[in-house]
Amino acid sequence: MLLARRLPGILYTHRYTVYSVGIILSTFIYFLFKWNLFCVNLQAWQHVKRMCSLYEQGLAIGSLCAPLCVSKDIHSLTCHSFQTAKEAVFSAEWHNIKLVFKSVTTDVQPIHWYDNGILKYPTEKEFLLSIRTIVKRKLNLTLAYDTAVRLARLKPSYEEKDPLKRKQEIDSLWYLLQDNEYLLSTIFTDKDIFPQLIGTCGPYFAVEYLEPVPFTSALFSMGDTLEEWGQRLKFALQILELLDDLETSFREPFHLCDIKLNHFGYMNNKKKLKFIDLDEAFPRTVISSLFQEIDNCLVDDDCEFLDCRSTCNKTTKQCRTSIENNNFQIVCEKIFLGWRMSNTILVPGLLMSQHTPSELASILRQCANPDGVPGKVRKMPDDEIRKRLFNVLYEMEQSLNNDFFL
């Protein structure tokens, strides 16, 4: 009571301190939000409001617009923090399925144009051609006619006959198709490697929700039990299987240039692992041409695209047009071994614990850094190392988990 009565007086005598603390605190909170280090569900609601207002004006179309805006079947919006590339990432629920909404940029030249004040759209044939051009440019892939037709529609097996609605559909698709994540999720529906597309509404699309993987914060998982070690081994094997799929299921290997633990996610009760962040996933020839676009490199560090690395030819000042490391090397370095500074491990990775046998540690060092060079590694580990790692992990996992279930 006494303190409460004296509080205004105390605040007054220390008013400058109070002002400064207030200003520092609000600046801090402002930047937390601005840099998306922190989010509130309000932001998710604002995106829904934007979708619905576009929908009501007839500017957005898609299978998720009505459930969001009319019947309101989509509920339980939850925001996801730590997003950088995409403007919006939030999850929601729809009839017991969880989905994740993402926005695409509308910062590209629209597909329609004006001719003497008259609004013009490409013909169906021209639209198909431009879809194939986008896919060729972004994925170096020549689409089969049927796939192109599927991509030219919002609902794969429904042909919009109403000319006005078709124009809205073309407008929406145009923005969506520029997005790498939307493209990969729609083109490779049969592969079971990327999250499945569930639907769209205007410049937003939703994919299936993936369960977060365990051990995403090594710092906080101090538990070092044998049971947890068994789970780690199983997870590591699933990562290796996913990398195998990326290497062999496509016409050419796919490179993930932004590999982090929280970019993996589970489906079907942890049976199937998928990769979430598809903005930085490219086929090998495409990543090579990205290196080609870098002008005037001076050092090797200039020839990097996040985790994907090439080297600088100092005479021509051009990056070598082939990627020199691969998914396997990155995973060994960043996920399995952990954060290192020179040769000391600062934050132990998934496979570094008191249970790590020296044979495993040695294999991991070889795949993270095949030539044992100082600095950043620009080398793909041999296939031999990959097989040895798989076998060692598999045998340990089998014997451990058999022990548990006996």
Which positions touch ligand ATP (CB under 6 A)?
Answer: 80, 82-86, 89, 100, 195, 207, 209-210, 258, 262-263, 265, 276-277, 279
**Binding flag, residue 296, ligand NAG (CB under 6 A):** no
User: Which option in ligand ATP, ligand NAG, none does residue 381 bind, with CB closer than 5 to 8 A by kind?
Assistant: none
Where are the alpha helices (H) located in 35-144, listed in sequence order?
A: 41-56, 65-69, 124-139
d(CA 363, CA 387) in angstroms, rounded, equals 10
User: Can you read off the two tokens belonging to residue 346?
Assistant: 């600062």
Q: Could you tell me the two tokens for 229?
A: 């070690």
Q: Which stretch binds ligand NAG (CB under 6 A): 210-218, 242-250, 270-278, 310-318?
A: 310-318
Give one word for 270, left, alpha or beta, with left for phi > 0 and alpha for psi -120 to 50: left
User: Which residues 6+ apart lie within 8 Å of 230 measured at CB?
Assistant: 397, 400, 401, 404
Q: What residue 316 binds from ligand NAG, ligand ATP, none (CB within 5 to 8 A, per partner kind)? A: ligand NAG
Quick one: which of 17, 216, 217, 316 contacts ligand NAG (CB under 6 A)? Answer: 316
- SS3 label, residue 313: strand
Our CB check for ligand NAG shows the closer of 221 and 285 to be: 285
Nearer to ligand NAG, 20 or 289 (CB): 289
- Report the C-alpha gap between 329 and 331 in whole angstroms: 6
DSSP string covering 126-140: HHHHHHHHHHHHHH-
Binders of ligand NAG among residues 28 to 47 (CB under 6 A) are: none
Residue type, 70: V
Closest to ligand ATP by CB, 300 vs 307, is 307
Closest contact distance (angstroms) between CB of 178 and ligand ATP is 16
Q: Which of residues 216-275 bind ligand NAG (CB under 6 A)?
A: 252
Q: Which is nearer to ligand NAG, 81 or 313 (CB)?
A: 313
CA nearest neighbour of 156 among 141, 140, 142, 173: 173
Out of 313, 353, 356, 401, the residue judged to bind ligand NAG by CB under 6 A: 313
189 binding partner (options ligand NAG, ligand ATP, none; Cβ < 5 to 8 Å by kind): none
Torsion of CA 174, 176, 178, 180, to 10 degrees: -160
* One residue of 63, 83, 140, 401 binding ligand NAG per CB under 6 A: 140
Q: What is the nearest approach in angstroms of ligand NAG to the Cβ of residue 325?
A: 17
Look at residue 140 and give the partner it binds from ligand ATP, ligand NAG, none, a contact being a CB closer than 5 to 8 Å depending on partner kind.
ligand NAG
In terms of residues, how long is the chain? 406
SS3 339: strand
Minimum Å gap between C-beta 85 and ligand ATP is 4
Residue 333: name its binding partner from ligand ATP, ligand NAG, none (Cβ under 5 to 8 Å by kind): none
Which lies closer to ligand ATP via its Cβ, residue 196 or residue 353? 196
Asked if residue 289 binds ligand NAG (CB under 6 A), the reply is: yes
Q: Tell me if 215 sits within 8 A of 260, measured CB to CB.
A: no
Applying CB under 6 A, the span of 28-36, 296-304, 311-319, 327-335 interacting with ligand NAG comes to 311-319
DSSP annotation of 209 reads -
**Sign of the C-alpha dihedral, residues 52, 58, 60, 62?**
positive
Whichever of 68 and 312 has its CB closer to ligand ATP, that residue is 68
Structure tokens at 248: 């062999």
Count of other CB atoms within 10 angstroms of residue 310: 26
Determine if 285 is a binding residue for ligand NAG (CB under 6 A).
Answer: yes
Which of ligand ATP, ligand NAG, none lies near 279, with the C-beta cut-off 5 to 8 A by kind?
A: ligand ATP
Burial environment of residue 390 by CB neighbours within 10 A (0 to 12, 13 to 18, 19 or more): middle
- Smallest distance, ligand ATP to C-beta of residue 193, A: 13
> Around Cβ 5, how many Cβ atoms within 10 Å?
8
**315 in contact with ligand NAG (CB under 6 A):** yes
β-bridge mates for residue 267, sequence order: 272
* Residues touching ligand NAG, count (CB under 6 A): 7
**206 vs 337, which CB is nearer to ligand ATP?**
206
Q: Report the interface residues with ligand NAG, using CB under 6 A.
A: 140, 252, 285, 289, 313, 315-316
